[in-house]
Structure 1
Amino acid sequence: MRSTENTSTGPRLSSARSLERTPAAVLILLAAILAIFVYGMIAAMLGTILPDLSDRFKLTPTQNGTIATAQAIGLMIASLAVGPLLDTQGDKIGILLGLVFIAIALFGLPRSGGFGSITLLMFLLGVGGGIVVTAANALTSAVSPDHRATALNLVNLFFGLGGLLTPFISANLFNRNWVRLCYTIAVLTVVVGVYQITVPMPAPAGGSGSIFTQAGPILSRPILYLLGLFLFLYISCEVGVWNWLARHLIAQGIPESRALNILSLGFALGLLVGRVAVSPVFKSVPPVTVLLIASIAMAITTFLMLQTDKPGTAAGLVFIAGLAMAPVFPTTLAITASAFPQMTGTALGFVITCGWAGLAVSSRIIGAIAGPDPRRIRKALLVLPAFSVLMIGLNVAIWISLR
């Protein structure tokens, strides 16, 4: 299955091979890195600014949930709709369009008048984020077809860096001034957009015929749905950790500050370190094999981290869980791009949309199982190892389908 990493053909990739390992490729990859970095910052914004927005506008928990759902819907709609645009007009158009939506939302939030306008702006922020993630990953895949799993893991490393930087800036530099935070990230978004304009990027990958006739063969291939379901399960697990782990640890008697540090310095750091560490592995190990190993490790570590109430042990297991999860998202996208060398953006958009669907439903499933009793969160979080076991089975199906 090594061919998944290095034997793709098609208009997008054949034109990109002439760029690989050239100064132009470095500039293009930097463009993808900056776009992913911006998305990492805005992905962490909701949790950072929502408490202040709630206090300012007296928002209820139900309204907070609606705001989060609006952002998730924006992510799903944008990721699914932008694929054909990338294939026909190019990745640059997609990245710029996404950054425009992000900038509009960030400049508008400090001027919002209440629940309705906040919900609309968070929806636009989700739309911009969904476009940027799909376009930046498609661009990375196109520029580095012979090493796309390695490149995608390294580029997505900057998502984690952006996610860590937003709460750090808010707490330590702006004293939780969310207005300054919005304007700062908005200005950064504009600067990144200007850089995108100046960088030449590969031509669109669209083939002959209408977008509908080209998309038909893609939508008829089972591998697309296997990869989509796989990413749905994975994002459900990752979001489950982000949204529920700290509350589980607190329910076990671990102090809140310690629980939050275990989440940030354990899980988030594990994701960052894991993406750096796994990148050289693809020189000798096929991406599908990496996914299988990661899925097995996820099933084991997510189960074990729920069995302890000792902070030190929990921190170590959560860190290892982060290491296990680190390569899954970018490597799944690498396999998708290799399996669909034409209409790559459309295929990536579909698979990423399936992942965002996991974001939308994961916490609802866990919350429904846990109910009002915090002590039941441990039982509810057994969804994570269960989904990881399902990922193992899907890995086998994906391997068979690719062969």
Structure 2
Amino acid sequence: MYNRKLVFASACAGLFLFGVGAITLGSIAPDLRSKFNLDELQIGGLFSLFPVGILCGSLGFGPITDRFGYKLLLAICSILLALGFAGIGLANSIWLIQICILLIGIGGGAINGATSALVADISTENKGASLALFSVFFGLGALTMPFVLGLLRDLVAFESIVTAIGGLTFLLSLAYFGLQFPAAKHNEGISMAQLGQMLKDPLLLMIGFFLFWQSACEALINNWTTTFLLDTLQVNGRWTLFALSTYVAGMSVMRLLTGSVFSKIPASRMLGFGMGFLIVGAIVLGWMPGLNWVIFGLVLIGFGLALGFPVMFGMSSSLYSKNSGTAIGIILVISLVGNLLTNFAMGYLAKSWGIGIFSVGLLIAAVVQALFCFLVFRNSKMVN
């Protein structure tokens, strides 16, 4: 027996803190670059550690939750997340920062996947809309971090803010230990034959590669926007953080509307509109001058990227309702490869060609993602 509202609220809290973690590195990148005297390639290497950690967390959470349930995994991974936040705030050496980024990635990756699978499991109708509403909390978490850093930039050191977030995350782990969650689905676990069948499913793989390019776009926006604005447009450091917040605000508004006002409209149709917003936003951000155009472009990009993960998580959990955690884990792993490769590539290209290459890379990733969106929904109609 479990209380659905409490479980949903706890999942939202976990996703909120994962959102904080996902945007933290990009938000404090200029501070880390100054504090440790890092160049673009070294910053790119730091960014790439985060998806490596998420990749590790995403590889394991699916089979674990399908076999053992959600409680223990969520509680332990919240502790890892707390240690990572606190460590970044207290560290005075770059190798400690690297370890903490990995901890945030591992804990956050598992929490992201497990809470998404949990909400999909407890949602009985219109999983896409339910997951979109749930995903608002990722946006709220991601919005909070750059906003707070920008607001308190001249009053409190970024290290103190990140350490305080670690304390809040530890409190969440205690809540997870005290809650009841849905029972495990398979006491015997998933077989290798079942896993092999899922890995050969063309539709599931297409969903994964759609999210590959979704993650590529998110990696560019989350981790490189502040550097692009500082070095190319000479935007004030505080305003770069506020501008990044408008991207997250656009994402959150689109998810909120999809999960409430537009809940009767198929989420897949809303996602199609989002691809148009994404491409236009990439063009505006990269080639229209002035801070107002930057903000407009970031809002459009937020609209465009809002529904990728919620819609594809809902589709995957419907395809494999008995192994939803494993199915979501597979597509998450594919998506994180996109994040990892993008950060490495962007660090190398920015060092060799300059940060201006950011705008070209973002537009290419947006167009390819839109193409995979078309392929996914065309093949899903064939399957149905």
TM-score normalised by L of structure 2? 0.87
Which of 287, 292, 302 is the matching residue for 2:272? 292
Whole-angstrom CA distance in 1 between matches of 2:335 and 2:68:
24
Identity of aligned residues (%): 24
Could you tell me how far 1:64 is from its partner in structure 2? 3.3
1:223-238 → structure 2 map (5 Å cutoff): 223-238=203-218
Does residue 395 of structure 1 match 2:376?
A: yes
Match of 1:240 in 2: 220
Match of 1:39 in 2: 18
Could you tell me how far 1:138 is from its partner in structure 2? 0.9
Letter matched to residue 176 of structure 2: Q
Structure 1 residues 306, 341: closer, same or farther in 2, change over 3 A?
same
Q: Do the aligned partners of 2:47 and 2:343 also contact (CA within 8 Å) in 1?
A: no
Please list the CA deviations of residues 166-215 of structure 1 after superposition, one character each: whole Å capped at 9, or x if unmatched: 23334445834233223311211121112222221111122756542442
Q: Do the aligned partners of 2:317 and 2:324 also contact (CA within 8 Å) in 1?
A: yes
Whole-angstrom CA distance in 2 between matches of 1:179 and 1:303:
35
Q: Which blocks of at least 5 consecutive residues in structure 1 are unaligned? A: 1-14
Letter matched to residue 368 of structure 2: F
Could you tell me how far 1:26 is from its partner in structure 2? 0.9
Letter matched to residue 395 of structure 1: V
Does residue 98 of structure 1 match 2:51?
A: no
Which of 138, 142, 160 is the matching residue for 2:139? 160
Structure 1 residues 381, 146: closer, same or farther in 2, change over 3 A?
closer
Tell me the SS of whatever aligns to 2:260: helix
Could you tell me how far 1:389 is from its partner in structure 2? 3.5
Q: Which blocks of at least 5 consecutive residues in structure 2 are unaligned? A: none
Q: Could you tell which deviates more after superposition, 24-33 or 277-286?
A: 277-286
Whole-angstrom CA distance in 1 between matches of 2:48 and 2:73:
23
Could you tell me how far 1:386 is from its partner in structure 2? 2.5
Whole-angstrom CA distance in 1 between matches of 2:24 and 2:359:
27
The higher radius of gyration belongs to 1
Q: Do the aligned partners of 1:367 and 1:380 also contact (CA within 8 Å) in 2?
A: no
Q: Do the aligned partners of 2:150 and 2:241 also contact (CA within 8 Å) in 1?
A: no
TM-score normalised by L of structure 1? 0.84
Whole-angstrom CA distance in 1 between matches of 2:160 and 2:235:
30
Q: Do the aligned partners of 1:66 and 1:119 also contact (CA within 8 Å) in 2?
A: no
Whole-angstrom CA distance in 2 between matches of 1:30 and 1:389:
32
Q: Do the aligned partners of 1:366 and 1:383 also contact (CA within 8 Å) in 2?
A: no
Could you tell me how far 1:335 is from its partner in structure 2? 1.0
1:3-402 → structure 2 map (5 Å cutoff): 24-59=3-38, 61-112=40-91, 114-173=93-152, 175-206=155-186, 210-246=190-226, 253=233, 255-256=235-236, 260=240, 263-280=243-260, 283-366=263-346, 371-402=352-383
Q: Do the aligned partners of 1:89 and 1:204 also contact (CA within 8 Å) in 2?
A: yes
Q: Could you tell which deviates more after superposition, 315-324 or 71-80?
A: 315-324
Structure 1 residues 241, 25: closer, same or farther in 2, change over 3 A?
same
Tell me the SS of whatever aligns to 1:381: helix
Tell me the SS of whatever aligns to 2:321: coil
Whole-angstrom CA distance in 1 between matches of 2:355 and 2:71:
46
Q: Do the aligned partners of 1:91 and 1:138 also contact (CA within 8 Å) in 2?
A: no
Tell me the SS of whatever aligns to 1:146: coil
Letter matched to residue 325 of structure 1: L
Could you tell me how far 1:128 is from its partner in structure 2? 0.6
Whole-angstrom CA distance in 1 between matches of 2:54 and 2:174:
23
Q: Could you tell which deviates more after superposition, 309-318 or 153-162?
A: 309-318
Match of 1:6 in 2: none
Could you tell me how far 1:275 is from its partner in structure 2? 0.8
Give the length in aligned residue pairs. 382
Whole-angstrom CA distance in 2 between matches of 1:156 and 1:278:
11
Q: Do the aligned partners of 2:81 and 2:107 also contact (CA within 8 Å) in 1?
A: yes
Could you tell me how far 1:297 is from its partner in structure 2? 3.5
